[in-house]
Structure 1
């Protein structure tokens, strides 16, 4: 996937609004290819075969009793064309052996003032050596961190990402970044009117059905399954769709005969030890991306935009919230945060989903009213989705350019 500049489709260069947006303002930008990664500036890093790696370490540090050597890289400044109040970073990385990556962000406001560098993630594929984590708070200047979301209430006009690559000192196992990006947004207080059905009508993708509820009580150290595992269960359904689930060797620690053991594995591999949960959005796409090819977090403006992905053969994991009675046919009465898979649309435009809250796999497939689900999604998370896809399913063209 190439780097895109969504602002070009929505605003003239330099056009910045300091007021609360009346419409959804969304901008996703990523660096993917070797040429794109080389536009950043590194200290002790190199780009080879499309991947950012350590070349010559420039510093050492001690973490959890282990000494690591590291190198850093900064992205170019990104200007979305409007004053944004939230940022969600996502990445695809490899962390062999005892190595890890850190992702930080800083912003610049309309007066030119810069924030400090805030830590968004300390991440490794496995938890063998490092407990992957975020760092909530950090409200020291212009912004703060809420798990996976960087918030700047007064607005920022540009941002920079920083990647730190670290490995155990004295080893040659080399962590690397394949893709790094972020979605920024300024959203209205309420969702827009229900979108009209579009190009996804009548298309339903054959996404396998896994229930989070059958895992209730599994592995208390990773939140014990059940209602806590909607995100890794949804991510696993999408990986199953691409035939990219982990093999038995990966989850050999799960007892033989356990139903859908790849869900237990995904919960462990996405668990955020600071947040104390497996629902961290970019941790889920970072887990999925190397398995299938591509994965990132973005926001969409409507189900009509989601339909373009369904037409391209790409299911989406969507983050929703709703109160009792606000989502007819849902297997749970209400939730402050839940993830499910948008698998398709009926001819009338209603939404066919794989809802992992179904008590059994046969109860996972459901159809929700378009207006109700769109409100639960846009009002709940501002339209957050995991976009996970392989080379055989390239991204659809974007009329707005926000992915």
Structure 2
């Protein structure tokens, strides 16, 4: 259960920033880029989806992940590597960067990649970007997105993450305070205000890869993706019947976040703040990956499950001051050889069942009062857990890291209650105020050499 809930009251945007803007960092980085590439799409015409006539549930997903995808974009010093990942082939220039969290200032060579303009399947009210990459020592990357509204105007270039696999060069961070009066960035999500009929009709992504001057090292970006959505405001979602994963359970390691309470205050103090890295670590290990002894050398040897501490450090967002940044968790999972990861939304438990039946666990994000999820024993404004199976009657088997210890992590939750607290987009808080809810957000991690059944299940969920 993250200590800082990722929620906002359902009122018009833009919300007040949670913390101060990283103005110094943005100013230092701005010189790395030329004029923003423009891209427009026509405003909606007859027959196009509009704010009054959108589908009841709308989720889209698009990714660039192949050599052909990278070649379709515009590179300045970047090129597809031998294994299809985007790499830095030559420096396009040099730029200073002052890290606002470490206080370090350095000069870095950079190269850029600009995606083609991609038109959303339907206009979207929210956008989540994510990436699969590795950054050797002396390298890091920045991801940005620019949206095109349905009236043809553009958002600013929004920074979605300053990221590195480790923390020896720059400290991984989101950027607060980004908004244009119509949309804003909430840590890892671009959200359009509820007081406007405008939506995001299209978008393009920009990657900037950095390395130490004179180095031959390079970040490698294997996947860059965006999930768009425009879900209805709803407190209840339609019920589904048990599906193809009935009486199926995956053997996923179980880790409690609460055994780590009080550990590493610099990474948000363990306990309720570590649900996301604990869940990510469970699934990373399900696919056969564990940190090496060298990876864990920094962890106090008296601590049990040191790999959860490692995952917390590797997902920590120094601006958000927590480990719950969705794309940072996906990037951590995908930094393991042979794993891919996405942040997306599913529209039903049926979709989750299809994935579990194919052997893919689903890490879900939900919020609820204690009475809304029988047997949980707690309430939360935002919490991650892992769906590992379904009973014969269709109830949901999860690894819930809120368990008191590892033995208490495996839980069975009522199907109807679980699907509602996960898929709804509105809820009432303890004071009766209307709050946002996750709307089916989930992480999916799977092997690059997936089986045909796994590829089919991912495709059915819109992931290719």
Q: Same fold (TM over 0.5)?
A: yes
Query: Which residue of structure 1 lines up, in the alignment, with residue 318 of structure 2?
Result: 273
Paired residue for 2:369, among 303, 323, 345? 323
Match of 2:225 among 156, 159, 181: 181
Is the alpha carbon distance of 1:272 and 1:98 closer, same or farther for their aligned partners in structure 2, counting shifts above 3 Å?
same
- Residue of structure 1 in register with 2:64 after alignment: 31
Pair 1:387-2:431 in alignment: no
> 1:224-250 CA deviation, whole Å, 9 max, x = no partner?
100000000000110111111212210
**Which residue matches 2:34?**
none
Task: Give deviations 1:71-123, integer Å, cap 9, x for gaps.
Answer: 11111111122110101111111111121111100111222111111101000
Task: Map residues 15-94 of structure 1 onto 2, 5 A cutoff.
Answer: 15-19=48-52, 21=54, 23-49=56-82, 50-64=84-98, 65-94=105-134
Match of 2:456 among 382, 396, 400: 396
Aligned length: 390
Where do 1:225-264 residues align within 5 Å? 225-264=270-309
- For residue 188 of structure 1, give the secondary structure of its aligned residue in structure 2: coil
Matched, 1:164 2:198: no
CA contact (8 A) 1:20 1:188 kept: no
Query: Cα offset for 1:137?
Result: 2.4
Aligned to 1:314: 360
CA distance in 2, matches of 1:47, 1:216: 43
Residue 8 of structure 1 aligns with which residue? none
Where does structure 2 lack aligned partners over 5 or more consecutive residues? Answer: 1-46, 99-104, 425-436
Residues in 2 aligned to 1:219 and 1:325: alpha-carbon distance in whole angstroms: 32
Cα deviation, residue 136, structure 1 = 2.1
1:337 aligned onto 2:382: yes
Tell me, yes or no, if the aligned pair for 1:116 and 1:141 is still in contact at 8 Å. no
Moved over 4 A (4+): 398-401
Name 1:4's counterpart in structure 2.
none
CA contact (8 A) 1:124 1:130 kept: yes
| 1:11 counterpart residue number | none
Question: How far is 1:37 from its partner?
Answer: 1.6
Q: Which deviates more, 20-29 or 342-351?
A: 20-29
Q: SS of 1:214's equivalent?
A: helix
Q: How does 1:146-157 map to 2 (within 5 A)?
A: 146-153=186-193, 154-157=198-201
Q: Deviations over 1:290-315 (max 9, x none)?
A: 31511110000011100010011000
Q: Is the 8 A contact 1:211 1:360 kept in 2?
A: yes
SS of the equivalent of 1:377 reads helix
Q: Residues 399 and 99 of structure 1: is their aligned pair in 2 closer, same or farther, counting only changes over 3 Å?
A: closer
Provide the C-alpha distance between the structure 2 equivalents of 1:269 and 1:45, rounded to a whole number of angstroms: 26
Q: CA deviation at 1:255?
A: 2.0
Change (3 A) 1:245 1:53: same
- Work out the CA distance in 2 between the residues paired with 1:47 and 1:161: 16
SS in 1 for 2:420: helix
Q: Tell me if 1:362 matches 2:407.
A: yes
Gapped regions of structure 1 (runs ≥ 5): 1-13
TM-score after normalising by structure 1? 0.93
The alignment's TM-score, normalised by the length of structure 2, stands at: 0.81
